[in-house]
Structure 1
Amino acid sequence: MAGVQTAGVIDVHAHVVLAETFGAAGTLGPEMGGQDGDAPWFRVGEYRLDGVRYAGSAFMDPALRLARMATAGIDFQVLSPNPLTYLHHVPAAVAIRFCRIHNDALACQVAAYPERLAGLAALPMQDIGAAVEEFHRAVGDLGLWGAAIGTDMPHRLDDAGMDRLYDACVSRDVPLFLHPGPAGIDGPAGDPNLKDYDLDVVIGFAAQETLAVARLIFGGVLDRHPALDICLSHGGGSTAFLAGRMAQAMRKRPWSPPDHRKDGAFEERLARLWFDNHLNRAESLSLLTDLVGEDRLVFGTNFAGWDAPEDLGTHTPPAHLADNARRLLRRP
């Protein structure tokens, strides 16, 4: 516990790949190959990621992770599921088994390095009852610090059925993290325009995050759960750029209830969400900060990922971001 309490830099956006989960979803995998050559690959169902090496990398080797964290000046890291393995659209029994294996393995890994690492649970979101059950097991029994789920699942974030999970987060007093996964891994294929140039990740992720913000606010999730803390990846996607348009819609459109139509109602709710600062451009972060304030931002890197900041070893994030992370994580 002392590690996070005294950490000067806390990274809340860092994914982990766990060897114990390979083959845990049956024919869907996951599996990987080519890791010893020049063409590594990773497969989940019909989706194949090429050119990313997991074996012998910080994604899978905690010793390498800790060494790279030291080089990057990161004191503490919160590990979340690989977004390629959310499996929110597969048969519930497959997802339930996979998430249990994942969370057991993650809990073992972070327990070995409590001064440097913590973990967020994977949940079988196609069955909300099972997701709530696994959430309580992962947080209550395994000691994980919350959960991380995708933004694309069989039901929407503002679906009334999701209230059971939101209530569970409040009752356990832990945050919920949202991060997109590429459309089509185990569910609907998504926009075919996103299938080239990594657009499903570069633009599709931002679209999913922006949609998540809109549904959480327009759909009344924050009104129904005032004590709920949700943190969105990549600065909420395009939220900062589109906030004016979303606010105008909430004031003007017929679906908006009376209490949402008041001036500032959208902005007030937006400032109750949390965002990591992983936006890759200072001007974009400045726009988001102007909207939500300094106290709702946390430091995130997508550690070891293709879009991780290149200057981690030479740039120290502001100290207040670590204080914010401690508040979000309930580790004062």
Structure 2
Amino acid sequence: MEMRIDFHTHILPLDLPDLTGKFGQGRWPVLEQKCSCGADIMVSGELFRKVTDQVWDAKKRIQDMVAEGVDMQVLSPVPVTFSYWAPIEQALYISQFQNDFIAKTVNKHPDRFIGLGTVPLQDLKVAIDEMKRCKFELGLAGIEIGTNVNGENLDAPEFIEFFQMAEKWNIPLFIHPWETMAKDRTERNNFMYTIAMPSETALAAASLVWSGVMEKFPDLKICFAHGGGSFPYILPRMDQGWEVWPDLRKTSMPPSHYAHKFYFDSLNYDSRNIQYLIDCFGYKNVLMGSDYPFLLREIPPGKVIDDTLKLSDEVKANLLGRNALRFLNLE
């Protein structure tokens, strides 16, 4: 039977230190446990998100995996912990704390978990050093980064060396929305999650294809969360812009040429959207991902792929597991 690998899951250590107390006031996420089965993530004294014990308890995660037919999870940090706003020594501390925790969890359950680390992108030398440690010392399979760094899009010149080294070391990057655009207009109705995150992801992907980053680093492996957000659907409009504004071109080919190098998780909830991703980018560039263990996750993981009736068994096997192993260099 083919493996089912959930590429998009998040984990947070229960003993995450209270860095507000350690370093002084700041926007540090604090985990306040309310009971054995749940906790509140607090930021600046306000509730950011309620979480269940699945966010830190590996045994609970494995129980859910067995119940839902998932063989392995790819563990990545919760984006609120990226902390790109913080002084670099402090941001490195929380990055390394999480990276060590994820590596220990993977080492304890190597048949169940694959790990992704995180790095403090506000300082490129430190970020590159920690990326190197994640791969060559901790044995993590890739790095999760945010869609922007303190308001700077990922095509900013200061990030070029980071992408260069990720390509050189063959380290896959998982790009997840955080610090989304239009925050003042998306506070109500949780539009930050349903509208702003997909738009933020589209801007990150657009920045990388329009700027020439993907042309400069053709072997760079990048996967976008949430099916790429709105990016797949606005890509034809970007190509049209590239055609009609030759003075703005920074690449030799239109954006869609470079977008075909991207990978996307499958978290878009609709089999028609899955089919569109496959039609646009190929079935080998879509990885099953659920956003476990949060409220917006897909239950059971891979349901939308299973419900896409026109897919052959071979294609489904790639979507549900093989593609994740290939992306993470773990075939």
- TM norm structure 1: 0.88
Alpha-carbon deviation of 1:241? 1.8
Q: Distance in 1 between matches of 2:251 and 2:133?
A: 39
SS of the residue 1:178 aligns to? strand
Structure 2 residue identity aligned to 1:135: M
1:114 aligns with 2:113: no
Alpha-carbon deviation of 1:169? 1.4
Structure 1 unaligned residues grouped into runs of 5+ = 1-5, 184-188
Of stretches 169-178 and 59-68 in structure 1, the one that deviates more from structure 2 is 169-178
Does structure 1 conserve the Cα–Cα contact (< 8 Å) formed by 2:29 and 2:80? no
Determine the structure 1 residue equivalent to 2:62: 66
- TM norm structure 2: 0.88
SS of the residue 2:215 aligns to? helix
Determine the structure 2 residue equivalent to 1:179: 176
Provide the aligned length of Structure 1 versus Structure 2.
315
1:236-284 CA deviation, whole Å, 9 max, x = no partner?
1001221211111122222114623xxxx32221111010010012222
Does structure 2 conserve the Cα–Cα contact (< 8 Å) formed by 1:182 and 1:200? no
Structure with a larger share of its residues in strand: 2
Determine the structure 2 residue equivalent to 1:233: 225
SS of the residue 1:300 aligns to? coil
Alpha-carbon deviation of 1:142? 0.8
Q: Distance in 1 between matches of 2:38 and 2:138?
A: 36
Q: Indicate the percent of aligned positions where both proteins have the same amino acid.
A: 25
Summarize the Cα distance change of 1:169–1:47 in structure 2 as closer, same or farther, 3 Å threshold.
farther
Q: Distance in 1 between matches of 2:300 and 2:121?
A: 36
Structure 2 unaligned residues grouped into runs of 5+ = 307-315
Q: Could you say what the CA RMSD is over the residues aligned between the two structures, in angstroms?
A: 2.2
Does structure 2 conserve the Cα–Cα contact (< 8 Å) formed by 1:179 and 1:209? yes
Summarize the Cα distance change of 1:112–1:205 in structure 2 as closer, same or farther, 3 Å threshold.
same
Structure 1 residue identity aligned to 2:51: R
Of stretches 11-20 and 306-315 in structure 1, the one that deviates more from structure 2 is 306-315
Does structure 2 conserve the Cα–Cα contact (< 8 Å) formed by 1:271 and 1:292? yes
Does structure 2 conserve the Cα–Cα contact (< 8 Å) formed by 1:250 and 1:266? yes
If asked which structure has higher relative contact order (CA below 8 Å, sep 6+), I would say 1
Determine the structure 2 residue equivalent to 1:319: 317
Does structure 2 conserve the Cα–Cα contact (< 8 Å) formed by 1:148 and 1:179? yes
Does structure 2 conserve the Cα–Cα contact (< 8 Å) formed by 1:18 and 1:105? yes
Structure 1 residue identity aligned to 2:249: S
Determine the structure 1 residue equivalent to 2:97: 101
* Map 1:10-25 → 2, pairs under 5 A: 10-24=5-19
* Map 1:73-222 → 2, pairs under 5 A: 73-154=69-150, 155-183=152-180, 190-222=182-214
Summarize the Cα distance change of 1:177–1:47 in structure 2 as closer, same or farther, 3 Å threshold.
farther
Alpha-carbon deviation of 1:326? 1.4
1:196-249 CA deviation, whole Å, 9 max, x = no partner?
111111111101110011101001111110110100000110012212111111
Alpha-carbon deviation of 1:30? 2.6
